[in-house]
Amino acid sequence: MAAPSALVLRCETCGTEAPHRVLRGKIGGKDELVFEGTVKCPTCGRVSAIVMREPKPIQVPLIVSWLEKSERTSLEFSPDEEVAVGQELDLGDTRIAITAIDSGGRRVAGVQARDANTVWAKRVDQVRVKFSVNKGNRTVPHEVLAAADEEFEVGEIVDLGRDRAVVHHIRTPHRTVREGRVRADEIVRMYGRVVRERTSR
């Protein structure tokens, strides 16, 4: 394992807690990670030899839900790191939020990573927005995938594949919005009608 390029440490000379540049060093250890090396304080320039020990990271089984699918994977934690329901984490280029934790055969709200048997999570970087669209005398349900912080505006035209629809109003958990913008993750349902395209002859 390669040595890090910097380590956050408190300098014994000037007392600053900052990323110290690693001048040289190596990582070893079987049951724990042991870093031995030389570091330089960015504030006063003091060069010192250090030995740091920390527990080896562990892989915790993870089940991520997205739309109708659930995917089994794992996530790396430090053994004594706290894992809690509601916590948001990065999984590759995806943002997830923990929805449930199994520990010792029961569901818990929070636990140290070493005691977590399985962690359940859902993707939160994208949401599914429900959209009821009037098409002639029928109302057709659609779903639009959007980033959680993407905004939809009343009067905006939304592309639905073969159709395009204009947004009439948007329902949130607390009110109906008839003008203005609403974040995708706050929308319960959008309502609109299909826009007929004019074709020039």
pLDDT digits (tens, 9 = 90+) for 27-73: 887 778 889 999 999 999 999 999 988 888 899 999 999 878 899 99
- Asked whether 36 and 56 are in contact (CB, 8 A), the reply is no
- Asked whether 38 and 70 are in contact (CB, 8 A), the reply is no
Q: How far apart (Å, rounded) are the C-alpha atoms in residues 169 and 153? A: 9
pLDDT value at 119 more than 70? yes
CATH class of 6-55: mainly beta
pLDDT value at 1 more than 70? no
pLDDT value at 115 more than 60? yes
Please state the rounded mean pLDDT for residues 115-127.
92
Encoded tokens for 169: 């109003």
